[in-house]
Structure 1
Amino acid sequence: MTWKHIAATVTGISHLNRNEGGQDYCRVQVVQFGDREYFIGLVADGAGSTADGGVGAQIACDTILGCITVSIRDTGELSGISHEDVEHWVSAARDAIARQAEMSSKPLREYACTLLGAVIADNHARYFQIGDGGIVIHEEAGYTAVFWPDQGEYANTTYFITDEAFLSHLSQQSSASPPDEIALFTDGLQNLVLSFSRKVPHDGFFKPLFETLRKSCGGENPILTEQLRTFLTSREINERSDDDKTLILATH
């Protein structure tokens, strides 16, 4: 199994107009242990109401990436990773954010961020999410959302890894049938790529992007990455969402 993947994070015009930096962050890595290859995709979105949500997002992704690689190396099989293992990854990320907050003498909530992740091998896949944004996969039946964005009890709210009850909002799913395509994205794109009335992804958004990616060379493609960044900052997209936007696309 050889993965092709691209990823881009762009700052929303709402942040740019206020001379602020973006709050999204992502990590993509393909690792090999023995004769098996693993795709890892992680996305986090810092809360817009915080000063350091983007820092929290980076710490969360970087910490969990390390935890995942250790778990895969130790177990030797993705199917051997348990629900409790994923809770450990997320808890380790929260602890790392808490240490940063303590060193900076800031409240933990200033580093609030959502979290989405996927780990895929040739015989297994595992997904997890806290908060909004989404993970869309393609299987024989077509495109489907693994989880629906968890937007909280009130409008424009969601849940974060820094919440006191963060584990109660951790959604998990595993499958013995890995997808051939996967997309992970933050909430800046969810209203564009998901039909909330029908609870399905918009095929018309994903199909052209994946068709282009499938025709590319293996691994990471800098040219397509730049084209994706240009697309995410286009007038067409910005007119529909002024928030930060992150999108990971991967196929094998």
Structure 2
Amino acid sequence: MGLGVTWRVVAGSAAGTSHSATGLDCQDSCWAQVDTPAGKTAVLSIFVADGAGSAKHGGEGAELAIKAAAEFMQKKAALPEFGLGDDFAVDCVMGIRAVLFSAAEKAKVRAREFACTFLGIVSTNLGTLIMQIGDGGIVVDIGNGLEVPIAPMSGEYANMTHFITDEDAVDRLESHAFSKPVLKAAAFSDGIQRLALQMDTNTAHEPFFAPFFKVLSTATAEQEDQLQDALMRFLNSEAVNERTDDDKTLALAVLI
């Protein structure tokens, strides 16, 4: 696969019914983009962050995390070449932590008040890297069907997880590299987790993903503009809200 490799992407976040009912904004944030620097291969990046409900600035933390990851990615994409491995994941997380700790210092609060989870997928024609701190999930197809290479992380107790602002965040960071571009990819916050995964076996729930990937891979240029609206309608649908009252984020990509 040469310079022509590229992806079609769509991503969205929607407030959960528990937040809407109390007038709270959505505390999830996401990013899905394909960068094509002049004369270079395309770079896919997907990032998802879920602000901690117990953190005063959790939603802002999630937004800042996504912005920092996107800026880190754009700097990398501008380089002649870069490797997709553990070092990349650690550098990305350290960059995000620096932004969150700086925001906390400015607000005169502990970094914990900007706590959020963080999930990332980066892919080029040479390979793919996934990385994760906290719950939510990443599903990829590298050529062997849908797989969940990193088990969603829960903390010591139910409804507990790990956050990028935690002291041991870099130790908790899980990353997984592949030597091929990703054919299909999805990242989602824990609001979607029970719909998207078979939790007992930690496998992808194929019927959940099949319609999304089909639409993404077959969409015409005209339909492409409507993908975002269709995803938001799904995230706000009764069928989804009956299953979860949490904020919901889903970001998807298909190699085209």
TM-score (norm 2): 0.93
Question: C-alpha separation between the residues in 1 aligned to 2:75 and 2:222?
Answer: 22
Moved more, 220-229 or 46-55: 220-229
Separation of aligned partners in 2, 1:81 and 1:10: 30
Q: CA deviation at 1:218?
A: 5.9
- Tell me the CA shift for residue 81 of structure 1: 4.1
Letter in 2 for 1:13: T
**Among 76, 82, 86, the residue aligned to 1:71:** 76
Residue 227 of structure 2 corresponds to residue 221 of structure 1: no
Once the two structures are aligned, what percentage of the paired residues are identical? 36
Q: Which residue of 2 aligns with 1:12?
A: 16
Deviation (angstroms), 1:191? 0.9
Match of 2:203 in 1: 200
Aligned counterpart, 1:163: 166
Of 180-189 and 138-147, the range deviating more from structure 2: 138-147
Q: Which residue of 1 aligns with 2:32?
A: 28
CA distance in 2, matches of 1:147, 1:219: 35
CA distance in 1, matches of 2:221, 2:71: 24
Structure 1: how far apart are the matches of 2:223 and 2:90? 29
CA RMSD in angstroms comes to: 1.6
- Alpha-carbon distance in 2 for matches of 1:81, 1:139: 15
Task: Find 1:44's aligned residue among 27, 46, 49.
Answer: 49
- Relative to 1, partners in 2 of residues 1:195 and 1:15: Cα closer, same or farther, differing over 3 Å? same
Amino acid at match of 1:95: A
Shift of 1:12: 0.3
Residue in structure 2 matching 1:101, options 100, 104, 128: 104
Write the mapping of 1:56-135 to structure 2, written as runs, cut at 5 A: 56-74=61-79, 76-78=80-82, 80-135=83-138
d(CA) in 2 for partners of 1:173, 1:117:
11
Change (3 A) 1:37 1:219: farther
- How many residues are paired up? 250
C-alpha distance 96-201 of structure 1, shift in aligned 2 (>3 A): same
How far off is 1:220 after superposition?
9.5
- Who is 2:156 aligned against? 153
Letter in structure 1 aligned against 2:148: A
Is the contact made by 2:85 and 2:129 (CA closer than 8 Å) also made in structure 1? Answer: no
- Quick check: 1:56–1:112 contact (8 Å CA) kept in 2? yes
Please state whether the residue corresponding to 2:226 is helix, strand or coil: helix
Q: Which amino acid aligns with 1:50?
A: A
CA contact (8 A) 1:135 1:185 kept: yes
Unaligned stretches of 5+ residues in structure 1: none
Q: TM-score, normalised by structure 1?
A: 0.94
The separation in 1 between residues aligned to 2:86 and 2:77, in whole angstroms, is: 14
In structure 2, the gaps of 5 or more residues are none
Are the aligned partners of 1:4 and 1:216 in contact in 2 as well (CA < 8 Å)? Answer: no
Residues 19-28 or 215-224, more deviating: 215-224
Query: How far does residue 55 in structure 1 lie from its aligned partner after superposition?
Result: 0.6
